[in-house]
Structure 1
């Protein structure tokens, strides 16, 4: 993802269309925040299971990618939970489900499919509703998650295509929005402009 002159938003980007035949159930923004927390909780647990499987199958770099993405989903959960807590202080996060795994190549495809759904369907639908309700905080949280998920999908597909040609590059996780960069060649997050020095390496 290229760094632009301005931080990307739902108003200055052209890739926020909702997928044709959207499968996302859209409620109020509060409902949508809770649904996103549930979805991200499941994704984080799934990627943690996939990381363990990748390590056991001898794919150390891919294990690190899954670990980084699991941590990224936790960032999204935290942002969404903070907004829900402003309205419902007693709201409890859902329990992470038990997750199974398969061969690492199939786990990468599963992960990519989930991230593509979130970036092309779920989050655009939630962003539209938050815009209709005038909830600027939710628009920003959903937007940053949506943009990060598209990069997660890209990382998974790249890892799938290079499954038998891995390198030693590290993955770097933005602590603000959950963007993941592969390799050392960057200065800041292209989504929220957070500086490289604050990123966590995997």
Structure 2
């Protein structure tokens, strides 16, 4: 993802449309925040399961990518939970069972498909509703997650294509928005502009 002159968002980016065959049930913004937390929690659990499987199958770099992406989902959960707690103080985060795990190539495709759904369907739909309700905080949180998920999908597809030709690159996680950069050639996050020195390497 390229760094732009301004932080990307709904007012200066054109890739926020909801897919024509949307599969996302849309409720109130509060309901959507809870749904997003449930989805991100499921993704976190899935990616940690896939990381363990990748390492057992001998795919160390893929394992690190799954771990970095799982940590990114925790960032999104925390951002969303902060808003939910303000509106519904009694809300409790959901518990999710670990899913079945398969060969690493299929797990990478599963990860990519999930991230594509979130970036092209779920989050754009939730952003649109939050805009209608005038909830700018939710728009900002959903936007950061939406943009990060697109990069996660790209990384998963890249790992899938190069599964049998891995390199030594590390993955760097932005602690603010969950963006992940592969390699060392960057100075700041292209989503929130956080500087590289605060990133966590995997």
Q: Secondary structure at the match of 2:150?
A: helix
- TM-score computed with the length of structure 1 as normaliser: 0.99
Task: Report what 2:140 is aligned to.
Answer: 140
- Count how many residue pairs are aligned between Structure 1 and Structure 2: 202
**Deviation per CA, 1:48-107, whole angstroms, max 9, x where unpaired?**
000000000000000000000000000000000000000111110001222220000000
Task: Report what 1:9 is aligned to.
Answer: 9
Task: Report what 2:113 is aligned to.
Answer: 113
Partners in 2 of 1:170 and 1:149 — Cα distance?
18
Partners in 2 of 1:47 and 1:128 — Cα distance?
28
Task: Report what 1:71 is aligned to.
Answer: 71
**Deviation per CA, 1:14-60, whole angstroms, max 9, x where unpaired?**
00010011010000000000000000000000000000000000000
Partners in 1 of 2:123 and 2:97 — Cα distance?
21
Task: Report what 1:103 is aligned to.
Answer: 103
Task: Report what 1:195 is aligned to.
Answer: 195
Task: Report what 1:27 is aligned to.
Answer: 27
RMSD over aligned Cα, in angstroms? 0.5
Task: Report what 2:61 is aligned to.
Answer: 61
Task: Report what 1:94 is aligned to.
Answer: 94
Q: Secondary structure at the match of 1:102?
A: coil
Partners in 1 of 2:98 and 2:76 — Cα distance?
20
Task: Report what 1:163 is aligned to.
Answer: 163
Q: Secondary structure at the match of 2:110?
A: helix
User: Any unmatched runs of 5+ in structure 1?
Assistant: none
Superposition misfits of 4+ residues, deviation over 6 angstroms? none
Partners in 1 of 2:25 and 2:63 — Cα distance?
32
